[in-house]
Amino acid sequence: MYISNAYPSASQSITASEALLATIGLEPCDLLRFASGNDASVPGHVGFGTELSLEVEQKIIMSVKLWSKFCANMAERYVKDFADMPIILISNPCPEMCRRHSIPDSRDFLSRTLGRIIENIGPDYVVDVVDCRLDPLTDPLLAAQAGHWIESFSKLSQEVAIHCGHQIAGPPPNN
């Protein structure tokens, strides 16, 4: 994959890797930073015009596949948790919570992750998102969801590290 600049001109084609990264709200420089082993919370120093190796492209594909699996698993959990209720409530991790647990706090990344989870839940359910920052997590089910989200995302990061050689979040929290 060749990255020519942040905003390709009309004559520049979009690569498969760029399209996959856009699916999860990331740009090529984000994954280059992850693939190089740098901390996901540190701004990247990857310039455009960088050609990606086949190995890095494979890491992109594997990372997106693992992210998709994570979203499907989370959707399944939410459907089970709310099986007897008229609405499924998903606790949205706020940026502060993400930073505290070394989860990427990009609004694009979080909204696309929640969007994919909602998409995986399917059209047969009514879904709403509860903002963890604005709405106190006094409900035990929502509080457990937030904890599960953090733990699951940390496990996803570890799985990405095993398969791809980089992490997208810190280690799982201690219970």
- Contact by Cβ (8 Å): 38, 44: yes
| Residue 98 belongs to some domain of the structure | yes
Question: Burial code of 102-137, b = ≥16 C-beta within 10 A, e = fewer?
Answer: bbbbbeebbebbbebbbebbeeebebebbebeeeee
Q: How many residues are listed for the chain in this entry?
A: 175
Range of the domain at 133: 16-164
Number of domains in the chain: 1
| Residue 4 belongs to some domain of the structure | no
| Residue 2 belongs to some domain of the structure | no
| Residue 24 belongs to some domain of the structure | yes
| Residue 173 belongs to some domain of the structure | no
CA gap 97, 5 in Å, rounded = 32
CA gap 113, 23 in Å, rounded = 9
| Residue 174 belongs to some domain of the structure | no
pLDDT per residue of the chain (175 residues) written in tens, 0 to 9: 444 445 545 456 667 767 777 777 776 666 555 555 554 444 444 444 445 677 777 877 888 888 899 899 999 999 998 888 888 888 777 777 777 777 777 788 888 888 999 999 999 999 988 776 655 566 777 777 777 777 887 788 777 777 666 555 545 445 4
CA gap 59, 80 in Å, rounded = 32
| Residue 1 belongs to some domain of the structure | no
Beta strands in 27-126 (DSSP E): 88-92
| Residue 68 belongs to some domain of the structure | yes
